[in-house]
Amino acid sequence: MSRFRYFLIALIVLISGVLLPQLPVISILLRSLDLSIYDTILKVHNALTYNEYEGVYDQICIVDINEKSIKVLGQFSSWPSLFFADLVNILSADEPLAIAFDVLFTESDSIQGYARQRLRPEFEGLKVNPDIIMDALSTDDSFVQAIENAGMVYLAMFNSNYPSYTGALPDKLTAWNVQPKYSLQLQYPIPPIPQFTNSARGIGFANIDPDVSGKIHAYPLFFQYGKNAYTNFSMQLCLDLLGIDKIKLNKNCQLISGKKVVRELPLNSEGLFFFKYYGEGGPDKTFRYVSFSDVILKRISPGYFKDRLILVGSSAYGLKDSKITPLDKYFPGVELHATFIRNVMEENYVRWVDFRLLLIINILALTIMAIFIPRSKPFVSISIFLFISLLSIPAVYLLYVKGSYIYNYTTTLVPWFFGFLALFITQAHEQGKEKRMVRDAFEHYVSPAVIREIMKEPKKLKVGGEKKYISIMYVDVRSFTSLCEQLTPAEITCFMNNYFNLATQTIIANRGTLDKYVGDAILALYGAPVSYLGFEENAVQSALAIRQIALDIKEANKNHPALKNFRIGIGIATGEVIVGNIGSDRIFNYTGIGDKMNFGSRLEGLNKFYLTTVIIDAYTYNAVSKTFFCRKMDKVKVKGKLEPCEIYEVIDTLENMQKQPELYSAYRKYESALELMISGQKNQAETLFKEVLNVLPTDEPSKIMLQRLNIIDWKTWDGCWQFDNK
């Protein structure tokens, strides 16, 4: 291959790295990976620099509706507006910069609707109008008066996905004439009740939702409703404090007062503003928290809140305002607003590396790889690739620490990794043609798994074996001699090749090793040459899949005189056998020898007697019983074995059978009947076997057991049926 083709591959990787992220599914996967890397950087940085944030930030104070407040003041849902009126009056007396509520006041605390109708008869006999008494119980007016007197109170509203409010938006909700690249589309905005909104200094939304990672990384700057854009209450508070009268969106979000750009919020390529987190959330970790109850019970010194920004929210677990962030699974929602305000007021932002710079880095990296890899040995290429990859980790970390710069890390990671992979594979392909030719030829004779083990350890080419605990599966075609008599040699060869191909693909797909074809039979091993957990389930899964292949073949040939009755039998035994290369020094085969190998063949043969398809032994059953539904079919002695053994028929997956309770119950009833027969209770067993046939009229094992009941010598019956033939 010419050197030019290495550059062509590098160019294809570069273009793919730009175009593929535009695909929705790829975009989500890469986005999730980007955020995971970013989260790791934040966690490491937080762990290494925790002491820097030990001093709690006091300029923003959170009045916390915490567990303590709920215990002192009662259930939160029963709090009257008077509590909040008292809070505002106490806070405003200290002359804070602003008071913002991350609390939704969408209902009056007055008695309304049915409750009013229900209570009206209770006041009969009084000279006073009941409505006057009930109106007097409301403290909404006190809260309204407190908001008006303070003059700096901001309230929150939220967006609902359900049509619960169709009124006009509040006048105090400021609309901004911008066309953001990213904004949340509002469905049904729900504001506070009108008397509160009319008294507030400003209104804004309180929605901050997680992204594809399930965590909150970005702050929604704008909410789209109709032709207008609106903001969260915390952003509106910042805009008012900074005197912003215009917002301009280009690469970033510019906040303008008069003609001066007061703040410029960095946005990524999607138009998102990322939080600059200061640490974990919660009381007195990063921001100062003060208990709501301590404030209204006047336990806080006068003047404490002077010139501070006050946010009112909740860290109480029961109020469910906890969010998941990169640093904390229980981050109070109100602290997200506090974090954003601090970011803006201190101009402490997460900044984004220019995409054009990243593109230049990608071009340089891929060009160097296209020149270097063809001229280097594989070990050298891998070593340098790993060295530079590891070196990039502290580089990316320092980029964030020193300049708060981040970027979509997969923008460079994907071209770097896949560029190296593509070029390295190309190099390996050129250098290993002869080896691959040998490998491809060898795989015509043995399974890919055996080849992989041999390629790792060539010494295994010699004759020898080892003990392994495995599952052995035999698959045999019924009445194969009859098929051969009815079909021409070309027809039977073509048919069996197709059947073997489908069955073999199923075996390999379920991590089985094809041992050999023996005439019309297939022998497969599971758990050899490479051991792994769950190989018994793989064997049974293969058996069910091959059973379905046989049924499909039968259905496809239902009008064929010979193939319309196509059937197979499958037996699976599990146990310890000797596996390895068995044979002579020059000609050998990877196979197994031992009692269990023979027993698997015996189990397959029992299908002829019971007219079933898949029979397994007790060891296999114990391993798969939680996944597959099997019925205990009999207790037998097969030819060549003195010890009795329990055999089981595989019916279906347990999940499928649990959806068919009548069949499930019938098969379990068969097992009960079998136990009765084994214990010598003929009449009771006969009754149950007949009940099974009422549900499963074609169940051959039940019919066989009914016949057996009449031929058993009950005087000598030991509960075990003896088979003298294979």
pLDDT tens digits, residue range 391-415? 888 899 999 989 999 988 888 888 8
pLDDT at 265: 95
pLDDT at residue 383 greater than cutoff 80: yes
Amino acid letter, 133: I
Give the residue, 587 or 99, on which the prediction is more confident.
99
Instruction: Convert the pLDDT of each residue in 304-313 to its tens digit.
Output: 999 999 999 9
pLDDT exceeds 80 at position 122: no
Q: What is residue 182's predicted lDDT score, i.e. its pLDDT?
A: 87
CA–centroid distance for 501 within its chain:
35
How confident is the model at residue 358, as a pLDDT?
A: 86
Question: 575-634: per-residue pLDDT in tens?
Answer: 999 987 777 766 667 788 888 998 999 999 999 999 999 999 999 999 999 999 999 999
Q: Is the pLDDT of residue 341 over 60?
A: yes
Residue 28: the pLDDT is: 86
pLDDT at 320: 83
Does residue 582 contact residue 523 with C-beta atoms inside 8 Å?
A: no
Alpha carbon distance 703, 708 (integer Å): 9
Q: Are strands 614-617 and 568-583 parallel, antiparallel or unpaired?
A: parallel
pLDDT at residue 462, rounded to an integer: 47
What is the average pLDDT across 460-470?
71
Average pLDDT over residues 147-170: 85
Check whether 1 has a pLDDT greater than 50. Answer: no
Angle between helices 700-709 and 595-610 (to 10 degrees): 90
Name the residue among 575, 583, 630, 567 with its Cα closest to residue 602: 575
Write down the pLDDT at residue 431: 65
pLDDT of 112: 65
Tokens of 272: 């998102």
Token couple for 377: 């040995």
The pLDDT value given to residue 618: 95
Q: Any idea which of 53-57, 275-279, 326-330, 642-646 has the lowest mean pLDDT?
A: 53-57
Give the whole-number percent of the chain exceeding pLDDT 90.
52
Query: Which pLDDT value is given to residue 162?
Result: 78
Say whether pLDDT at 2 is over 60. Answer: no
CB-CB contact of 160 with 222 (8 Å): no
pLDDT at 127 over 90: no
Amino acid at 127: K
For residues 348 and 129, the answer to whether their CB atoms sit within 8 Å is no
Average pLDDT of the segment spanning 288-314:
95
Cross-strand bridge partners of residue 635 = 646
Confidence of residue 136 (pLDDT cuts 50, 70, 90): low
What are the tens digits of pLDDT across the range 516-528?
888 899 999 998 8
Amino acid 461: pLDDT: 46
Choice between 112 and 226, residue whose per-residue pLDDT is larger: 226
What six digits make up the tokens of 63?
Answer: 């009045």
The 3-state DSSP class for residue 721 equals strand
- Could you give phi then psi for residue 467, rounded to 5 degrees? -80, 135
pLDDT at position 126 over 70: no
Secondary structure of 587-600 in the HEC alphabet? CEEEEEECHHHHHH
Where is pLDDT greater, at 381 or 36? 36
Mean pLDDT of 44-67: 81
Question: Token pair 């149950």 is at which residue?
Answer: 688
271-293 average pLDDT score: 91
User: What domains appear along the chain, each with residue ranges and CATH number?
Assistant: 3-46+353-431 (no CATH), 60-351 (no CATH), 462-624 (3.30.70.1230)
For residues 57-70, average pLDDT: 93
Residue 232 β-bridge partners: 205
List own/partner pairs for 412-418 with CB under 8 A and 24 or more apart: 412/358, 412/361, 412/362, 412/365, 413/33, 413/37, 414/17, 414/20, 414/30, 415/13, 415/14, 415/17, 415/362, 415/365, 415/366, 416/362, 416/365, 416/389, 418/13, 418/16, 418/17
Identify the residue with better confidence: 58 or 437.
58
Q: What is the mean pLDDT of the chain?
A: 87
Residue type, 178: V
% pLDDT > 70, the chain: 89
pLDDT of residue 530: 78
pTM: 0.58
Q: Give the span between the Cα atoms of 702 and 464, in whole angstroms.
A: 46
CA distance 8 to 5: 5
pLDDT computed for residue 153 by the predictor: 95
Q: What pLDDT, on a 0 to 100 scale, did the predictor assign at position 434?
A: 45
CB atoms within 10 A of CB 240: 16
Per-residue pLDDT, averaged over 340-351, amounts to 94
More confident residue, 235 or 723: 235
531 burial (CB, 10 Å; 0-12 / 13-18 / 19+) is: exposed
The rounded distance, in Å, linking the Cα atoms of 603 and 570 is 8
pLDDT at 444: 47
